[in-house]
Chain A
């Protein structure tokens, strides 16, 4: 096992020298998580809107279920998907196991409840007059919905940022359904887990720094967004 100071120095060197293996891992992480959150966003937004603006039997139960799903462990999602996607599983014919698509599905499942729960809170808190004003000015329900979304955009962007933050750092699902294959499905969290188990800390530290910088950036973005959202008199 290399000393911490030496590992940190090598980690810094890997980052600034543009080490191709390291940057490939970072690229895979961002690409997979971004696609997952972008696929989930429209469906989550529609669900959040329906929960905030429509009255239907079982609405409260659905909200409670989404809130419960916020704390679902990533490894449970990974295990369930593994069983579904493995050759012997019901979706085995899709041949998705150990691909980026499988990772995207896993991350989709993980971020969907966050997007719905936070999106629902943002839309629920938005002023009801927006919807009524839009309708009375001649908007159809679809356009009125887009107007509400526009007015609540700061809260909704915060939901996207939080969802992205959750999935880019998750290891359980990606490890199980992605398989941690170099240059294919190895992302930042799975690479950190692997390098640590091998006692090679430099790459792990470098990737950890990237995650920490990402967390800082996301938090600053969130703070900025929340600051812009509360200027209504």
Chain B
């Protein structure tokens, strides 16, 4: 099966230090990939490149079998299809609904359609009670969940979650895990990073490990 996204020989250096070296990988629809590696191993850098936020020094991207001729073209396609969530997601000043509708407003959809999609997304995530709340009043766990919904509502092909479960209490963690599993069931590809494999209830399909900028595959653990 042709992967949705194929990355070949991706390399990235900073201050003459190699951060990523010859990274190649395939992403298929519905993949739930766990990316591990110690602090500073380049996990976040890799995600930021895949989200089109950071230009690699080398590498080639193929989307749906079509190799993109240059970084400019790859970046524009990646930004259209990939959503990246920071370890501590940033919610814009405003209500939860304003935040969730941000990406839809960028697509210049009509207001009624936006409102309907926002409400739908909030109900699906059982967050409708937060709709009018100011994003700055939310707990860390709530912010993480709102950020996932804000990305999910745009129907991305790939979601990149940078340490989504870090510093979360048990309940928030459970709710977050359930949202990630739901994405996986909807055939959204997900890559989530962690500095260590953890026990839990995620349906991981693949476990990749970054060590000194080199990517290797491991047996999928349960997170």
B-contacting residues of A (Cβ < 8 Å)? 127, 129-130, 132-140, 143, 147, 150-151, 231-233
Contact across chains for A137 and B86 when beta carbons are under 8 A apart: no
Surface stretch bound by A, among B10-18, B58-66, B76-84, B191-199: B76-84
User: Nearest Cβ in chain A — how far from B117, in angstroms?
Assistant: 14
Q: Are B92 and A147 in contact (CB under 8 A)?
A: yes
Selected contact of B106 from candidates A132, A137, A233, CB within 8 Å: A137
Between B79, B86, B93, B136, the greatest number of chain A beta carbons within 10 A of the residue's beta carbon is seen for: B93
- The total of Cβ contacts below 8 Å across the A-B interface reads 55
List the B side residues contacting A136 at CB < 8 Å.
Answer: 51-53, 79, 82-84, 151
Q: Are B90 and A129 in contact (CB under 8 A)?
A: yes
Task: Find out whether the CB atom of A231 lies under 8 angstroms from the CB atom of B136.
Answer: yes
Q: Are B93 and A150 touching (Cβ within 8 A)? A: yes
Question: Which A residues are CB-close (under 8 A) to B53?
Answer: 132, 135-136
Question: Smallest distance from the beta carbon of B41 to chain A beta carbons, Å?
Answer: 20
Inter-chain contacts of B92 with A (CB < 8 A):
130, 133, 147, 150-151
B30 close to A (CB within 8 Å): no
B219 to chain A, nearest CB (A): 31
| A127 and B90 form a contact (CB under 8 A) | yes
Question: What are the 4 A-B residue pairs with the smallest beta carbon separation, nearest first?
Answer: A129-B90, A137-B103, A138-B106, A136-B84
- With most chain B CB atoms within 10 A of its CB, the pick from A135, A138, A231 is A138
Inter-chain CA distance A133–B93, complex, in Å, is 13
Q: B70 at interface (Cβ–Cβ under 8 A)?
A: no
Q: B161: shortest Cβ distance to chain A, in Å?
A: 12
Contact size class for B? 20 to 34
Interchain residue pairs with CB less than 8 A apart (14): A129-B86, A130-B90, A132-B53, A133-B86, A133-B92, A136-B51, A136-B82, A137-B102, A137-B154, A138-B106, A139-B103, A139-B106, A140-B106, A143-B106
If A136-B83, A136-B84, A138-B79 touch, does A233 touch B136 (CB 8 Å cutoff)? yes
Given A132-B53, A133-B86, A138-B107, A232 and B136 touching (CB < 8 A)?
Answer: yes
- Which residue, of A127, A136, A143, A233, has the highest number of chain B Cβ atoms within 10 A? A136
Encoded as 1 (CB less than 8 Å from any A CB) or 0, chain B from 18 to 45 comes to 0000000000000000000000000000
Task: Please tell me if B89 contacts chain A, counting CB pairs below 8 Å.
Answer: yes
CB neighbours of B86 from chain A (8 A): 129, 132-133
- How far does the alpha carbon of A55 sit from the alpha carbon of B150 in the complex, in Å? 30
A152 to chain B, nearest CB (A): 10
Closest residue of chain A to B160 (Cβ to Cβ) is A136
Contacts of A138 in B (CB 8 A): 79-80, 103, 106-107, 154
Of the candidates B80, B103, B107, the one having the most CB atoms from chain A within 10 angstroms of its own CB is B103
Residues of A within 8 A of B136 (CB): 231-233
| Closest beta carbon of chain A to B25's beta carbon, Å | 20
Chain B residues within an 8 Å CB radius of A132: 48, 51, 53, 84, 86
> How far apart are A224's CB and chain B's nearest CB, in angstroms?
16
B107: chain A residues at CB < 8 Å are 138
Bound-state CA distance A128–B151 (Å) is 18
Across the two chains, which residue of chain B brings its CB closest to A144? B106
**Cβ contact within 8 Å between B151 and A137:** yes
Q: Give every chain B residue within 8 A of A143 (Cβ-Cβ).
A: 106
